[in-house]
Amino acid sequence: MNPIEIKNVYKTYTRKRFLSFGKREETPVLQDVSLCLKENHVLGLVGESGCGKTTLSKIILGLEKASSGQVIVDGKEISKLTKPAFKKLRRLMQVIFQDPYSSLDPRMNVGQIIGEPLDIHGLYKDKLSRRKILEELVKSVGLSPEHLTRYPHEFSGGQRQRIAIARALALDPKVLIADEPVSALDVSVQAQILNLLKEIKQKRRLSMLFVSHDFAVARFLCDEIAVMYKGRIMEYAPAEELFSNPQHPYTEALFSAVPVPDPVRQKKREAVSLTARPGMENHPCPFAPRCAYVCEACHTAPLLAQVRPGHFCACAALPFKNKKSSFAV
C-alpha cells in the first residue's frame, strides 16, 4: 500500500470582494493533481514559487481542504475521516517547514518543543520515559541532551532545523513532508541537513515528500520528481531519468537555469528565455506564453501522458519539438 496517494485534486481560492454584491474572485491553485508516494521513496515536488507546491503539502497534512479530489493516506481518504480518526492518522505523517526561525515557538525550550507531540498523543508512561524518548530523539538528529533545556534563540539555523526534525520524528511517522527544509539555510549547512534527512530516511524506512525549488538538492535526495507549473504537474519521472532526459520545455528551461560548476561549460550554455509573451493568457496550455516550442499541435490542453516507461509529460507539442537541446546537466 502506498503511504500517500493523491487523485485528481483541485484547489481554488475564492475571495469575496468588498461591496461586490456576490461576485467572487476565483484563483485556481491546483488543477487535476495526481501523485503517488511509494513506500520508502522520496518524491520531489519541484517548481517555481507560487506554483502550488506548498498548498499541495498543506492539503496532504489536512491543514487545508481540497476543493475536489481525493487524498488517501495509509489507505484512508482524509476528507472522510472523523476528527479523532484524523488526529490518529496525523501520527503517520509529519512536517518540516522552510523557515526554522518561525517554526519553533520562541517561548518554549527544546524539551517542550520536541515533547509537545508526545504530550498531545500521550505517548509515554511517566516523566522518566518521556525524558528517555527526548534524549534519544535529540541524539538521533545530532544534538546532545544538554540542549533540551535551552531556548530556540540560542541555536543557529541548522541546529534549529535539527530541532524541527526531531519534533517531526517524535511521533515515529511513516511519512515526512519536507517543505523546502534547506532553502533558508547556508549552503554548507544545507549539506549537513540533507545528509541527516537521507540517513534518517534509510534508518527509519521513511517515505518523504520533498518540496523544493532547487534541482541540485532534489537530485541528491529524490527517487522520483514531479515538476509543477501553475498548479499542474508538467512532468513526472524517476529522478535520474528526468535529469538525463528532460522532456517538457519547462523542465528544460529550469535545467538551463541551474549553474554548472565548470566555468568553461557554464560559459557556453545558454539559458532558455522564460519571458512571457503578451496576448496568450487564454491559451489552453498554461505554459504557452513562456514556451519556445508553441505550434499548431498546442491547440488543446495538454494531458499528462507516458512518453517513456515511467516517464510522464504534459506537452502537446512534444512530438514536434526540436530534440537537439543545447544544454545538458
Partner 1 sequence: MLQNRIFKRFTRNKTSLVGLLLVCFFAFIALFAPVLAPVDNARNPYQMPQSSYAIEPQTPSASHWFGTTEQQYDLYYGVVWGARLAFKIGITVTFFAFLIGLLVGSAAAYFGGKTDEVIMRLTDVVFAVPSLVLAMVIAAMLGPDIKNMMIALTAVAWPSYARLVRGDILSVKQRDFVTAARALGAGGPRIMLRHILPNSIYPSVVVASLDIGYIVLTAASLSFLGLGAQPGTADWGQLIAMARNWVLGTSGNTLAYWHTVFIPGGAIFFFVLGWNLLGDAFRDILDPRQG
- Per rule CB under 8 A, is residue 87 in the interface with partner 1? yes
Binding span for partner 1 by CB under 8 A among 12-20, 92-100, 220-228, 280-288 = 92-100
One-letter amino acid at 41 equals H
Q: In this chain, which of 31, 55, 103, 207 binds partner 1, going by CB under 8 A?
A: 103
Q: What are phi and psi of 232, to 5 degrees?
A: -125, 150
Residue closer to partner 1 by CB (options 181, 246) is 181
Question: What's the CA angle centered on 310, arms 308 and 315, to 5 degrees?
Answer: 55
Residue closer to partner 1 by CB (options 80, 299) is 80
Q: Which of 310, 306, 180, 302 is nearest to 249 (CA)?
A: 302
The C-alpha cell 541540485 sits at 216
Residue closer to partner 1 by CB (options 106, 261) is 106
CA 61 to the chain's CA centroid: 12
Q: How many residues bind partner 1 (CB under 8 A)?
A: 25
- Per rule CB under 8 A, is residue 36 in the interface with partner 1? no
- Per rule CB under 8 A, is residue 241 in the interface with partner 1? no
- Per rule CB under 8 A, is residue 106 in the interface with partner 1? yes
- Per rule CB under 8 A, is residue 120 in the interface with partner 1? yes
| Residue 305 to residue 184: CA distance in whole angstroms | 35
Q: Which three cell numbers stand for residue 59?
A: 492539503
- Per rule CB under 8 A, is residue 110 in the interface with partner 1? no
Dihedral sign, Cα of residue 62, residue 151, residue 178, residue 10:
positive
- Per rule CB under 8 A, is residue 117 in the interface with partner 1? yes
Q: In this chain, which of 27, 102, 129, 266 binds partner 1, going by CB under 8 A?
A: 102
Kindly compute the dihedral angle of the four CA atoms of residues 161, 3, 70, 232, in this order, to the nearest 10 degrees.
60
Chain positions contacting partner 1, by CB under 8 A: 61-63, 87, 90-91, 94-95, 97-99, 102-108, 116-117, 120-121, 164, 167, 171
